[in-house]
Amino acid sequence: MESSPQRKEFLRLYDTYYKAVYFTALGLVHQPDAAEDCMQEAFLALWKELGKGTVIHNPGGWLLQVARNQGISRLRGLYTLTPLEEAEELSTPGDAATREVEEEAFIHHILAMLPPAERDVFVLHVQGGLKLAEIAKILGIPAATARWRFANARKKLKSVLRLEQEREKGTFLQKG
Amino acid sequence: MNLFSFNRMCRRAARHAPYHPEKFIGEYRQEAGRARPRGNFWPRLATIGGTALVAAAAVAITLCTPLFRERPVTVVPGSDGSLPSGSSSVDILVDVPEQAELLRLEKLWNTLYLVGNTYSPAGQADPQHMMMLLHLLGGTAFQGSIVQGFQDALGDLEASRRLGLGENLDMDGGRRLYCKISLGDANRIAKEYFVGLTFQAEDFPTQYVSDGDETGQWIYDQETDSVYLAIGAVGFANPYNRYIVCQRETEGTLIHYQMVGVYTESEEIQGLDKAESFGEYQETLARLAFSGEAVPSALLDVTIRLTDNGWMAVEEAALTEESGNGEIEEQAMERLKSSSLLKEFQWIGTGSAEKLLWLQDVLREFCPVQPGKEGWSLENVKEDPFGFMDAYFWLLVDLQERDQYLFSYDDPDYRDVVERLSLSVPMSEEEYGVKETQFDLIYRFPLEELNTGIARFFQGIRLAPEDFPTAVPEGYTSERAFVYDAVTGCVYMPCAATGREDPQPLLLICEEEQSQNGRLSYTMLGIEMEYGNEFFRQEDEYATLGVSSRFGDFQQRLWKFAQANPDEILYSAQVTVETSGDRYIIVSLETAPLNSGDADDLQQAKELLEASQSLRAAYGVPAL
């Protein structure tokens, strides 16, 4: 389908969902390379389906589910993963990649404290760049619920971050 | 770290999400395949099938071979050079010489994308022309003045450094200088094709700062007195085969413009000619949809932003109105500095009228004035529909604050009106069973009452039914729209079901200040009214989405002034006009040291804090 409408549709879906798919996978497998693999597998599956002329009514949800399935397969031991926290050690201290890895690990650490349902909405919205209404559609929940979950996630994150900050301060004082 | 910073971190991380759609397809088309940079996906993908490795190589070689570009060209679908009209994809021939390039743009312009807006060299003031011209310049510069193409290893590295691109010239994520054209040459071309249009050095930024996904950014280099086109190395990086065009759709009385990227999809060599098929892709950072007369000024904004430092974030919030992701802060926090001019502003008015006068002054001073127009003023609001619509929107919100005009889902007439106005808001029987909403909220304003309200704010302005469209076309993506319904005599304002559904601007207050590593920052709290009239607070980057796009302009102007004053330490500034109630004007500031010494930093931070406190006191916002 090199120049077909399906190809155009594929590109459109890729542009729309690649972040959402990637970060959904990352939330499962906790390792960027593996998450990228999951993402690519999901889009590969989409490519195949579109090539066959399959009509996917909720492509966002479909892609996320495929990515999740891929992530679960990896978690079952089909692949060897390097967790984010350990991946940090693979980088050269002080370089930009290290900082990125550290940040990703921190994000993962913080988001892990959210209930899964709220975390999903937060990740899809903030990192995936999707609108809440679209997220609602993807997840099959009412739009109001998506908004409510997002607001709740924010409230909880605020508390979590404050606690984290206090903890860091405490550690610093102890060292001092 | 607070939530605001955490959000920023999340979005920063989001930028690192792998993005290789074109590579995906390219690889798919290659039977042999290439090794994937990492992981095991691409080899697997390559085994699936595909064909055009040789063709892809030919495309790449062709695009980078100046000799080929100088060959004569014959138009393919017709000897007259006509193009298929109304198609969503274009088949045109690529021509390389300057004149032919212009003709091609003209054809593209006249035939496909701007039906009814005939290209005219005298239309130099039209921002769309300017936009096209910039691409023309890119194509022109490509012929003889390539600084660095894909095949080059380094190119003008010194210029890259000077212009802020550093040495990040890798294929997978960097940006590189692509074209170089002297300012004199640029103006020579401009003079030839666009009557009276002159580029000045000040029209361009002098440093590349944005890391968005924009098509390209023109940067002026004082040392060489040239403008360079810096583009991303990812995706459709060749400026020669990548254009932004304005796609126009008309439905009813509403004109819908959308910025669409066009890229080379396939090429076919026929003797000395080359037929090139174009596909479209979504130019996500330059998407806009405005109705009617608002378009020119909006396009001007886009044009400026495409060629200006750091406009992308503001553009995204202002024009796509879909960001919802706080890109404004993210960009601003990184780059915003201060100027003495900022402190000289009279932020505080005493009443609505005075504030609007102040707004007028600000708009006049800082916002781009449309050619031939005097600029925004209270007397000529219709001269600047875009600015007027902003003010108008505030007015509507002001009226809505009285709880009179929300068109509730429970309203028995809801379905009828929704269907009549093509609002596409099907409601289900169940409480939360909304299956699909193009617009999430609808506000209703009886036209007469609206005019009464307008009269309070705008001299001599009275809106008539014909000032409004009567339906919202399918696919309308703007955050809000105005529609008139003759049956009820009301104006309806549906608001898109985005992450920021509620059209009410947020009331921003400064909840707390934080000092960390010599940086003083304020956490802004937005207060918005949730459904059911319950107020809830959220510290939120959405807050600036309550800022009108004109204030996005304003913000950007501050930014530019800041760049001219590198010794200032103000790190970020946001100005928000809260239109509900007494119309707050809130300034959010963040300072950071710029090697000017802690004492000075603290003094300035203190001054800023005092200014903030004064502002709060003036509007009855509790002090910190």
CATH at residue A171: 1.10.10.10
Element (H, E) at B182: strand B175-182
Residue A22 contacts B, CB cutoff 8 Å: yes
What pLDDT is stored for residue B152 in this prediction? 36
What are the distances in angstroms from CA A62 to CA A58, A59, B78, B233? 6, 5, 44, 30
| Domain region containing B614 | 325-373+505-624
| CB–CB contact B501 A147 (8 Å) | yes
Mean pLDDT of A131-140: 78
- Residue A23 in domain: yes
User: Nearest CA to CA, how far is B459 from chain A (Å)?
Assistant: 38
Nearest chain A residue to B14, by CA: A127
What's the distance, Cα to Cα, between the start and end of chain B in Å? 20
In a domain, A103, yes or no: no
pTM for this entry: 0.32
Which A residues in the span 54-93 are in contact with B, Cβ-Cβ below 8 Å? Answer: none
Same domain, B298 and B227: yes
Nearest by CB to residue A22, choosing from B17, B28, B284, is B17
Query: Measured between CA atoms, how close is A102 to chain B, in angstroms?
Result: 10
Calpha distance A114→A153 (Å, rounded): 7
Tokens of B522: 């304020």
**C-beta of residue B179 within 8 angstroms of C-beta of residue B142:** yes
Are the beta carbons of B24 and A107 separated by less than 8 Å?
no
- C-beta atoms of A143 and B538 within 8 A: no
- The predicted pLDDT at position B320 comes to 24
For the CA atoms of B559, B562, B566, B568, the dihedral, rounded to the nearest 10 degrees, stands at -120
Contacts of B525 in chain A (CB under 8 A): none
Look at residue A143 in the predicted model and tell me its pLDDT.
62
CA distance A31 to A82: 6
Burial of residue B99 (CB within 10 Å: 0-12, 13-18, 19+) is exposed
Under 8 Å CB pairs connecting chains A and B tally to 138
- Nearest chain B residue to A142 by CA: give it: B432
Q: Are B335 and B308 in contact (CB under 8 A)?
A: no
Same domain, B143 and B173: yes
What is the model's pLDDT at position B231? Answer: 55
Per-residue model confidence (pLDDT) at position B313: 22
Task: Quote the distance between the C-alpha of residue B299 and its chain's center.
Answer: 9
- Domain check: are B354 and B451 in the same one? no
- B619 φ, ψ (degrees, to nearest 5): -110, 15
Same domain, B480 and B510: no
Rounded mean pLDDT for each run of 10 residues along chain B, 624 residues in total: 69 76 52 29 32 30 27 23 24 31 46 37 41 50 36 53 60 51 69 53 69 56 78 39 41 38 48 45 31 30 30 24 31 29 30 43 42 48 43 50 57 77 55 45 76 59 71 55 84 57 33 39 34 29 27 34 39 37 35 39 46 46 40
Query: Closest-CA residue in chain A for B9?
Result: A103
Number of domains forming the structure of chain B: 3
- Domain boundaries, position A122: 115-176
Predicted local confidence at residue A21, as pLDDT: 92
Residues A62 and A137 in one domain: no
Residues A77, A123, single domain; the answer is no
* Residue A51 placed within a domain: yes
Classify residue B610 as exposed, middle or buried by CB count within 10 Å of its CB (0-12, 13-18, 19+): exposed
Distance of CA B64 to the CA centre of its chain: 30
Quote the DSSP letter at residue B146. B
CB contact under 8 Å between A23 and B432, yes or no, is: no
Residue B387's identity, in one-letter code, is G
Contacts of B305 (CB under 8 A, 6+ apart): B311, B312, B314, B315, B319
CA dihedral A11, A15, A17, A23 (to 10 degrees): 130
End position of a domain, from candidates B503, B520, B544: B503
Distance from CA of A69 to the nearest CA of B (A): 16
Residue A87 lies in a domain: no
Q: Into how many domains does chain A fold?
A: 2
- Higher pLDDT among residues A97 and A163, named by residue: A163
pLDDT at residue number B156: 61
Contact B39 A40 (CB under 8 A): yes
How far, in Å, CA of B143 to CA of B77, rounded? 25
